[in-house]
Amino acid sequence: MTPLSRRELLRSAVLAGLALPVASACATPAGDGGTSSAPAAGATSAANPLGLAENRPLEIWIFDGGFGDAYATDIHEPLLKAKYPKLEIKHNATQEIAKTLQPRFAGGNPPEFINNSGANAMDFGALVQDGQLADLTPLYDAPSWDDPTVKVRDTIDPSAIELGSYDGTPYVLNYVNTVWGIWYSQKLFDDNGWRPPRTWEAFTALCEEIKKAGETAPFTYAGRHPYYIYEAILTLAAKIGGKDVLKNIDNLEEGAWTAEPVKQAAGAFAEIGAKYLMQGTAGLDHVQTQTAQNKGQVAMLPCGSWLENEQKDTTPEDFGYAMFALPSFTSSDAMPYGTLHVQPGEEYVVSAKSANPRAGMEYMRAMLSKDGAGDFMELVSTLTVVKGAGEGRTLKPGLKSAAKALLVAGDNAVWFLFRKWYAELHDEVAAASGQLMNGKLTVDEWAERAQKKAESIKNDSSVKKFKR
């Protein structure tokens, strides 16, 4: 993300020059020793189900970004140390993951555990292709930290495993969770006796009531970034038509965008756009609309669970952030009330060719424990993929509300990946969605434009296609 400055470029060029002979020097010995020590799964037992070797050190690299690295040193590492007092943990933190660690991989002595995140992360596809990442299936099949009768797999969101898989094999642990919904101020709603709506009819009725009251605009979104509204449209579409609606869209299937559920969802939000939008919405960005909400100028907006953190400087003391899942469109929706758009992120990997890979996996198992995840949530104010990790915790109101919504949703989680896979399609859908909300495009025109773009990407030989 951050453009390379000239100084940085020169520095990294010098470093690369230095790193080469160093890397090649250690490549030979590590190459010999590495292969023999790689099948490092020791004896497994109920207390040590992954067969971690306590006599070899565990080297940990944390990306020192928005979450810092205190969560590792203060929460997860002590947790593991308490269980394996003889294990030596070597903690490291950096913002330059690729620059620091790529030579280690090239040299055949990679560290065990890496938080491969941030703008300078290593390319996952390349790591997978090289066989550098450990298959995490043993971890997911191991008994969970808290309850030996439940597998780790069943304590976390299934989307986290799916999103960390390459061609069906799980290599990457996505630890942090993001959920989307409609956000409001609990105080504003309480003062006016408004209730979060559970059906689309109740939602439009609430909008009407807020509009009539005249003090506050009912609804807004980040008009300059129409992603915020097409996210809501697609989540509603999945709720109406089921998970396959979004799967078809991601897979660039024929007629995925012109399918009835997608059109219904688009039509529903187009109506909100025509009747209940805050004045000037189209020209405002996310910070401006969110700040308007903090000032009580608008009641509701669609956003992700980072919202509370993002707005912490402008939120009034008693604002009370809260969110609700998209209301049911009709009683015959394919998915029940509470269906959420959920997207795990923040990637962690274990290197297959490290000296003690099972220790890295055991560390992940500790992260995925109730305590590990719950303490993490409190410390960095974000959701995790661990089910119910927020229970009984003192969380900020918005985070608490999001955690509750996530728990209610359970397996009714939906997501889409074309935004990552096909930036072109994202741009086109965003542009069209902005015009849909302004009333300059009809629902049919909107759907056709998205469909046309999807097809042109499908026919473009230069773009690599993905499937889910």
Partner 1 sequence: MRFAVGFLVLPVTLYVIYVIAPYAQAFSIALTNWRGVNASPRFVGLENFRRLLEDTVFWKAVGHNLLLLVLLPVLTLVIALFFAFLLNAGGRGGAGGVWGSRFYRVVFFFPQVLAIAVIAVLFQQVFRPDRSGMLNAPLIAMGFEPIGFLSDTDIALWSILGVLVWQAVGFYVVLFSAGIASIPRELFEAAAIDGAGGPPMFFRITLPLLWDTIQVGWVYLGIIALDVFAIVWVMTPEQGGPDYSTTVMAAEIYRNAFEYSKFGYASAMGVVLFFFTIGFAALALRLSRRERIEF
Residues contributing to the site for partner 1 (CB under 8 A): 223-226, 279-280, 282-285, 288, 292, 423-424, 427, 430-432, 434-435, 438, 440, 460-463
Question: Using CA atoms, how far apart are residues 126 and 107, in angstroms rounded to an integer?
Answer: 16
Residue 380 vs 463, nearer CB to partner 1:
463
3-state DSSP assignment of residue 361: helix
Residue 232 vs 282, nearer CB to partner 1:
282
At closest approach, how far in Å is the CB of 119 from partner 1? Answer: 15
At closest approach, how far in Å is the CB of 393 from partner 1? Answer: 38
Residues 6+ apart with CB under 8 A from 348: 113, 114, 115, 116, 172, 173, 174, 175, 364, 367
At closest approach, how far in Å is the CB of 169 from partner 1? Answer: 23
Residue 243 vs 458, nearer CB to partner 1:
458
Residue 226 vs 338, nearer CB to partner 1:
226
Residue 156 vs 450, nearer CB to partner 1:
450
At closest approach, how far in Å is the CB of 186 from partner 1? Answer: 25
108: left (phi over 0), alpha (psi -120 to 50) or beta: left
Residue 11 vs 452, nearer CB to partner 1:
452
298-304/173-185 β-pairing? antiparallel
Residue with token string 């008693």 = 318
At closest approach, how far in Å is the CB of 433 from partner 1? Answer: 10
At closest approach, how far in Å is the CB of 279 from partner 1? Answer: 6
Instruction: Report the candidate in 363, 339, 337 with the shortest Cα–Cα distance to residue 350.
Output: 363
Residue 188 vs 292, nearer CB to partner 1:
292
Question: Using CA atoms, how far apart are residues 341 and 406, in angstroms rounded to an integer?
Answer: 9
Residue 223 vs 357, nearer CB to partner 1:
223
User: What letter would DSSP give residue 110?
Assistant: -
CB of 365 closer than 8 Å to CB of 156: no
Residues 6+ apart with CB under 8 A from 386: 155, 156, 368, 369, 370, 372, 373, 374
Instruction: Report the candidate in 467, 406, 422 with the shortest Cα–Cα distance to residue 158.
Output: 406
At closest approach, how far in Å is the CB of 269 from partner 1? Answer: 17
Instruction: Report the candidate in 426, 39, 5 with the shortest Cα–Cα distance to residue 226.
Output: 426
Residue 278 vs 300, nearer CB to partner 1:
278
Extract the tokens encoding 439: 């009333």
45: left (phi over 0), alpha (psi -120 to 50) or beta: beta
**Residue 40 identity (one-letter amino acid):** A
At closest approach, how far in Å is the CB of 233 from partner 1? Answer: 16
3-state DSSP assignment of residue 224: coil
At closest approach, how far in Å is the CB of 445 from partner 1? Answer: 11
